[in-house]
Every structure is written in C-alpha cells, then in structure tokens.
Amino acid sequence: MIKNTELYDPMDKDLVNKRIKAKKLCQKYNGLPIEKFRKRMSFLKKILGKTGEIVYIEPNFFCDYGYNIEVGENFYSNHNLVILDPAKVTFGDNVFIGPNCGFYTAEHPLDVPTRNKGLEYANPITIGNNVWIGGGVSVLSGVTVGNNVVIGAGAVVTKDIPDNVIIAGNPARIIREG
C-alpha cells in the first residue's frame, strides 16, 4: 500500500505486476456466469483485501490492486464499479452503490515538473455504514464519508462528509440533514 501523499512511481515493476494480477482477476470475475451468485461472492474474496459474508458486485468491476479494498457486511454495487486503490479504500456495512461509480485514491502532482516525471501520490477513502451512493458518483482521494449518508446521482465528492446527511452536486454539498 502506498503511504499518504508519498510520491511513488506507478511504473515500478512490482506495482505494474500487482496491477496486472488484479486486472486479470477482475477480468475472470467479470466473465463468471451471472447466475452463479455464490461463486461470484467467493471469487470477490480472492480479489478484495477484506470482505463481509454478503458481498456482491455486478459486472463489470475494475480495480488497481484489490488488496487495498475492504468492504463490510451487506455490500452491493451495481454495474461498472471502478476503484483505483493504491491507497486503502474502506466501505462499512450496508453500503449500496449505483452504476458507473468511481472511487479514486490516486492523484497527480499539481506542479508540472513532478507530474511530467510520471509520479503520483494517493490518499485513502473511507465510506461509513448505511451509505447509499447514487449512480455516476465520483469519490476523490482522501475523502471520508460518515454513517447514514445518501449521495445523490452524479455527485463529485471532494471533501469529508459528516454523518446523517444527504449530499448532491459538483462539488457535492449538503442539501439536507437528518
């Protein structure tokens, strides 16, 4: 796992090999027969670092490493989930994710010379318990989402979100509490 804000070279041979391994596992997962629910859940446990008992991700699912992803109990994601996980991505219990969502821990430096060297850094993402994430949501590096949160479709979450709120927009903002 990459440490917070530590610059790293994503083309490092070891990191490239780890990404290839995870992407091959995702490719196999995405090709499993859709009706084989138990087999699909079992296969996810080979990809992800930690899971609850009931975990289901509709195909297609893509990640960078897999072992940096932890999901709690009763986790569901609709189609086209993308998790870029050079840093840890943690989902609590009872998290439901709409289609076409992305969780991106990787970032590129803002200064041109460093960015042009191909270096990156990453910060973890944490999603609390009882969170419903609408379709097309993007959650950016370093964000923590509290418990009992609803994120409206299409939101871009750029900063931490407290417990017990509904958020929406780009950038996402609180639209209702409670």
Active site residues: 108
Q: What are the DSSP E strand ranges found in 10-149?
A: 55-57, 61-63, 69-71, 75-77, 81-84, 89-91, 95-97, 102-104, 106-107, 121-122, 125-127, 131-133, 138-140, 144-145
Residues 124, 88: contact at Cβ < 8 Å? Answer: yes
Handedness of CA 38, 53, 51, 83 (dihedral sign): positive
DSSP letter, residue 143: -
Residue that is written with structure tokens 């994710």 in the block: 97
Task: For the beta carbon of residue 39, count every other beta carbon within 10 angstroms.
Answer: 12
Cβ neighbors of 128 (< 8 A, separation 6 or more) are: 92, 144, 145, 146, 147, 148, 149, 163
List of residues 6+ apart from 160 with CB closer than 8 A = 143, 144, 145, 146
